[in-house]
Amino acid sequence: MTLTDRLALTVPIFQAPMAGVSTPALAAAVCEAGGLGALGLGSSNAETARTMIRETRERTTRPFNVNLFVHADPAEDWPRETAWLKALGHSFAEAGAEPPDALRTIYRSFAHDDAMLAMLLDEKPAVVSFHFGLPDAGRITALHEAGCLLLATATSPDEARAAERAGIDAIVAQGFEAGGHRGIFDPDGHDEQLGTLALTRLLASRCSVPVIAAGGIMDGAGIRAALDLGAIAAQLGTAFIACPESAADDGYRAALTGEAAEHTIMTRAISGRPARALANRFTRLGSSIDVPPPDYPRAYDAGKALNAAHKAKGEAGFGAQWAGQGAPLIRAMPASELMAQLRRELHDVR
């Protein structure tokens, strides 16, 4: 049975898991339209994750994808963190706020989160996916034995090979165009920055497991191109952010549907890991700071505090406004309508 059959997909569209942006309502709407909906639970604890899985199940009986972050533990580097907070100090002051005294590790990696594993083995979601790395063999075997199909993001052939060797069932080929966090396993290592086209083709021709293309895909023509490159489906993130079912706030929606969508930038300043965002006041501030940010997700603790301070004063330009290079093609409409539109476009492409 192919993966598409196993997931009962009637259209080769995966909605990207988007921590903080995807919701049970969005995931269920995509599933009900014949695609694979997803929950981004990488920043949630096991209890919240279980609640979101159950809420999604109340809305759909179809399979969906539950996504987790498998990052290395951050260094608690006080001198570096103090220097970073000092560099952000002026921006906090502008919003009438103080930077935090110290940074916290605001969420755990699935690599060590036994409560999350136990919850997954209990809830048995149809699909579990990993971003930033791979869990150990014990976790992979346990999830397989629970009947979960496993996906992992790869940004290079080396990462894809590691995923295949670990027994992952399908690989999400994430090009440099993609919105949100780059799934690269080692954020401090060399990055080839392969685009979606080259990466998808490379992985589709070399991997023995199915490949899903991600990055800059916004419409039926993009999905068709991914299929032509040998992908079994396309994973779209940015395309779904302006749907009313997403958790994006008003400032993010306004930026995405206006002029600001024309410019994206890869930045580490917001969270400590490279991620593609709309160019805004935060990314410009990040480009002007010459000390390195703390490790992910500790830098994100500062980033979220800075955004909260400015948002309280009505300034939206410090939000983590993740978006891919295809952002100007975004369409704000309910997810069911967007799925119907994507399906029509895909079939119309010659």
Q: Which is nearer to ligand FMN, 179 or 293 (CB)?
A: 179
Q: Which is nearer to ligand FMN, 87 or 148 (CB)?
A: 148
Q: Which is nearer to ligand FMN, 95 or 173 (CB)?
A: 173
Closest CA to 19 of 248, 215, 176, 172: 248
Q: How far apart are CA 22 and CA 332, in angstroms?
A: 15
Q: Which residues bind ligand FMN (CB under 6 A)?
A: 16-19, 21, 40, 42, 67, 131, 153, 174, 177-181, 214-217, 235-239, 241, 322-324, 326
* Shortest reach from residue 102's CB to ligand FMN, in Å: 26
* Shortest reach from residue 291's CB to ligand FMN, in Å: 26
Q: Which is nearer to ligand FMN, 217 or 302 (CB)?
A: 217
Q: Which is nearer to ligand FMN, 103 or 154 (CB)?
A: 154
Token pair listed for 16:
């990207």
Helix (H, G, I), strand (E, B) or coil at 128: strand
DSSP 213-229: EESS--SHHHHHHHHHT
* Shortest reach from residue 326's CB to ligand FMN, in Å: 5
* Shortest reach from residue 131's CB to ligand FMN, in Å: 3
Helix (H, G, I), strand (E, B) or coil at 250: helix
Q: How far apart are CA 10 and CA 27, in angstroms?
A: 15
* Shortest reach from residue 271's CB to ligand FMN, in Å: 11
To the nearest 5 percent, what fractions of the chain are helix, strand and coil? 40, 15, 45
* Shortest reach from residue 322's CB to ligand FMN, in Å: 4
**What CA–CA distances, in Å, run from 50 to 6, 45, 54, 116, 269?**
23, 9, 6, 9, 31
Q: How far apart are CA 105 and CA 240, in angstroms?
A: 29
CB 212 within 8 A of CB 172: yes
* Shortest reach from residue 6's CB to ligand FMN, in Å: 20
Q: Which is nearer to ligand FMN, 85 or 207 (CB)?
A: 207
